[in-house]
């Protein structure tokens, strides 16, 4: 079960009022706001030529990132890491913890990890909140 602060709820309301998209979750970092929206609604947040997302970024004075939710962790991670290519995804549970190991195409592994590991860190945060995944490892 997600726990959202008043600030999170306000951000979700701003997103809905400005774009019409329904946010499932929001994560605020020092320099960005990450929205997870219902499947098929990322286009509403981005807008034509990025106008809507740029307006939100200006309004909130932070970089805005948007990802679409999925029914399964497998499809969520495939979408999240795109255009990086997942060759194999393995889930295992030990001692009540669920871990995922992702084997990436070596040519696109850097895209999945991101500069300074930023992208994989975001994937871990979202996966923990929405899918109760304790760890994601990219190999």
- Domain co-membership, 18 together with 47: yes
Answer yes or no: is 1 within a domain.
no
- Domain co-membership, 47 together with 25: yes
Question: What's the CATH number where 13 sits?
Answer: 3.30.300.20
Geometric angle at alpha carbon 109, from 103 and 113, rounded to 5°? 100
**Domain boundary, last residue among 68, 97, 114:** 68
Q: Is the pTM of this model over 0.85?
A: yes
Q: How many domains does the chain have?
A: 2
Q: Are 124 and 131 in contact (CB under 8 A)?
A: no
Antiparallel, parallel or unpaired: β 32-37 and 63-68:
parallel
- Domain co-membership, 102 together with 117: yes
Domain that holds residue 103: 73-138
Q: How do the pLDDT tens digits run along the chain, 139 residues long?
A: 678 999 999 999 999 999 999 999 999 988 899 999 999 999 999 999 999 999 999 999 999 999 999 999 999 999 999 999 999 999 999 888 999 999 999 999 999 999 999 999 999 999 999 999 999 999 9
Q: How far is CA 136 from CA 15, 22, 102, 115, 127, in A?
A: 28, 26, 7, 17, 8
């Amino acid at each position: 079960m997600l726990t959202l602060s008043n600030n999170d709820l306000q951000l979700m309301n701003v997103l809905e009022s400005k774009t019409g998209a329904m946010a499932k979750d929001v994560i605020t970092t020092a320099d960005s706001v990450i929205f997870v929206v219902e499947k098929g609604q990322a286009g509403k947040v981005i807008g034509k030529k990025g106008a809507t997302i740029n307006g939100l970024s200006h309004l909130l004075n932070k970089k805005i990132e948007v990802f679409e939710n999925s029914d399964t962790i497998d499809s969520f991670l495939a979408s999240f890491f795109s255009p990086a290519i997942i060759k194999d995804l393995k889930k295992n549970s030990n001692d009540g913890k669920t871990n995922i190991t992702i084997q990436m195409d070596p040519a696109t592994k850097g895209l999945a990890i991101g500069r300074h590991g930023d992208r994989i860190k975001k994937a871990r945060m979202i996966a923990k909140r929405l899918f109760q995944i304790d760890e994601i490892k990219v190999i």
